[in-house]
Chains A and B, each alone.
Chain A
Amino acid sequence: DTEVTQTPKHLVMGMTNKKSLKCEQHMGHRAMYWYKQKAKKPPELMFVYSYEKLSINESVPSRFSPECPNSSLLNLHLHALQPEDSALYLCASSPGSYTGELFFGEGSRLTVL
């Protein structure tokens, strides 16, 4: 069982909707990540939070808004998405920053109609 929990597992939304993806870890990790993955492609980094502060934003469109309420929680707020934003959104955590030893959640499968 994964120790990084993502909800919801599946989400269908219209282009005018506002929704949020949630991620939680209880491993005491200090860095948390959002990745986007399209079919047959590797994960693409979106955001990194280190010690609850945004440390990397990979020039992601503003319709994606991350939030880290505390060291265990990570949210991704979605607004006015496009159909091309349909993908698997993966949350990950790591013990510290700038390490490649990531623990991924099971992902949230997003479909934008």
Chain B
Amino acid sequence: QKEVEQNSGPLSVPEGAIASLNCTYSDRGSQSFFWYRQYSGKSPELIMFIYSNGDKEDGRFTAQLNKASQYVSLLIRDSQPSDSATYLCALIYNQGGKLIFGQGTELSVKP
């Protein structure tokens, strides 16, 4: 069974702190990894993707991928209340696969 595991949270961090969101997956054939943000009552929005081992930075967001350990994480630096949302980890397999979502982690950033 191909699975994507996320801690559902809620994860609560104070404003200005680093929020760390983690995701593990079961299939080593996974090739591409994505983080979507979904505000309450809104649709998902792609915020980061990562294909290679290591870190990828975009503004306050850093995606980290470790294929050997089968985990991907998202770090949000200087967290803001506007970052409060559900973050969905997703992956796609190499050969014509569909996008598989984790259950999502609810993040709450307290002023």
Contact = CB atoms under 8 A, between A and B. Distances in A.
Contacts of B99: 45, 100, 102
24 contacts: A2-B43, A41-B103, A42-B104, A43-B101, A45-B98, A58-B98, A90-B44, A97-B96, A98-B92, A98-B96, A98-B97, A98-B98, A99-B32, A100-B32, A100-B34, A100-B92, A101-B49, A102-B99, A103-B46, A104-B43, A104-B45, A106-B42, A106-B43, A107-B43
Chain B binding surface, main DSSP class: strand
B98 A48 contact: yes
Contacts of B44: 43, 90, 102, 104
Chain A binding surface, main DSSP class: loop
Interface of A: 2, 41-43, 45, 48, 56, 58, 88, 90, 97-107
A43 B91 CA distance: 13
B4 to A, nearest CB: 9
B81 to A, nearest CB: 21
A101 B34 contact: yes
B96 A102 contact: no
A56 B92 CA distance: 14
A90 B46 CA distance: 14
A90 B99 CA distance: 14
